[in-house]
Amino acid sequence: MNRRGNNGRGQAGGGARRQTGSGGRAGVGNGTGNKSGTNVKDKIREDAPFQKNEEVTVDIIGLTHDGEGVGRADGFTLFIQGALPGERVRAKVMKVKKQYGYARLEELLTESSDRVEPPCDIFDKCGGCQLQHFDYPAQLEWKRQHVIDSLERIGKLQVAGGKAAAAGGEDRASSEGIIVHPTVGMAEPWRYRNKAQVPVGASGGAGGELIAGFYARGSHRIIDMDDCLIQHDRNDEVVRVVKTIGRDLGVSAYDEESGKGLLRHVMARTGFITGEIMVVLVTNGTKLPQAEEWIKRIREALPAVKSIVQNVNKKDTNVVFGDETRVLWGSEVIYDELDGIRFAISARSFYQVNPAQTVELYRKAVEYAGLTGTESVIDAYCGIGTISLFLARQAGHVYGVEIVPEAIEDAKRNAELNGIANAAFEAGPAEVVIPRWRKEGIVADVIVVDPPRKGCDPALLDTILAMKPERVVYVSCNPSTLARDLRVLEDGGYRTAEVTPVDMFPWTVHVESCVLLIRE
């Protein structure tokens, strides 16, 4: 089971999975304000300076966390997809709320020097990437600023060289402030994803030709895709092959409205080091008609395939995977390596999708842990043991905890696979297991957390404060919840020393961060 949700972290996909934060609606200055959700104050504004369908000239002053341009016109805020900071645009007002509105970009009057031509033919339709029109070095700068804004605005923390903490917020970081390093980018920021998870539909509605691709922005309308520039080319090949076979065999696509149709999703995993391929067919039913023909044709078309898997999901849900997974042919797992550590990866394993940047991120986590070979380390939210095994190479002993039992079994298998004997794993909620470990005499010198987008469970934060490790390393995929949790740890006696943003998902709005906290 994927504890971060079946779409994974930063999964290229539709706008229905928009990031939400905990910072309220403020902060258009740098474009990281949270405009998700509505309340009574968001009712349609009758006295707004603009009306629906009116054309206006707008100056773009920032980007939201969704990658939309933040515009100001006559003192009113408009969110405009496709606009970049520093631009002046002509836009058509589409919707007006009390405090802000939405507009459609009609014409660039002044173009940003950071604007580039998107290389993807369907960029303007597909919701998988949000920033292909934004020069890559500028993206890296924006992502760093996004982290800084969250730390200052939500966490009320002082950043070295950044803006002062928000009014009324007491600075307890340090006299100089938190060091936020430049975002670690990629030399070649394309073809980096080792997993494609693609919804299947029918062109023109139920009964049409089988299509597969990512969702259009803000919808569940599938944009058919044969080539995705952020996917490994083998993943693209898997999607093309499955579509062709499905069409030839007359397979019906799942229809969300009626709940009928067989094929819901196709997932492809590729081992970057090993070259091994896994194909997963997610079906709306237990039986896969002509299963032997599926297996034969997939193996003929994809000689590197090592595993063909069916997952059964008959529920009326947006969740991709169901509870039943069966191997149709080959192995239950494929193998890949990160920094010389070998991992067995099953269909439902959580495994970071960008191997090159994962190594950068985890090396930074080990560096921040400050290990000398004797320390006891607890890895909360350990998943299949990826960070744990990185840590174990330099620690005295590592204890990993994860709520998903299947992931713990994978973690144990991966430790054995690599001959690592100083790592132990247990299934259960971290906020329950870690206090019990403490009662059993396990004292952590370092605690590492790598939570899902919603951040750490409050009880886990309380547990960390009670255990008082010398260092806490926080790996985050959401700057908003990171800032919220850092505030709690700071109030409990820790100082946030350094933050290193890592660009795990180039051309999207997502950014990972690795943070070092030291007990005062």
Instruction: State the DSSP code for 170.
Output: P
Q: H or E segment at 324? A: strand 324-330
Residue type for 168, please?
Answer: G
Helix, strand, coil share (%) of the chain residues, nearest 5: 25, 30, 50
Hey, what are 435's tokens? 């206090």
CA atoms within 13 A on the CB side of 222: 25
Active site (annotated) includes residue 477? yes
- Name the nearest CA neighbour of 503 among 477, 471, 472, 482: 477
> Which residue type sits at 118?
P
Cα atoms in the Cβ-side hemisphere of radius 13 Å centred on 200: 30
What is d(CA 132, CA 519) in angstroms, rounded to the nearest whole number? Answer: 41
Q: Name, in order, each residue with C-beta under 8 angstroms of 360's C-beta and a sequence gap of 6 or more.
A: 184, 502
Contacts of 41 (CB under 8 A, 6+ apart): 98, 99
Distance between CA atoms of 161 and 180, rounded to whole angstroms? 9
- Per the rule left: phi > 0, alpha: psi between -120 and 50, beta: everything else, 191 is left
Distance CA 505, CA 418 (A): 28
Set 126, 129, 228, 477: catalytic member: 477
The answer on whether 402 is annotated among ligand-binding residues is: yes
Cα angle 503, 365, 426 (rounded to 5 degrees) comes to 115
Residue type, 390: F
Tell whether residue 450 is among the known ligand binding residues: yes
Burial class (CB in 10 A: 0-12, 13-18, 19+), 409: middle
Q: Which of 237, 236, 242, 235 is nearest to 262 (CA)?
A: 242
| 46 annotated among ligand-binding-site residues | no
Q: Which residues are catalytic?
A: 477
- Binding positions for S-adenosyl-L-methionine are 352, 381, 402, 450
- Binding positions are 352, 381, 402, 450
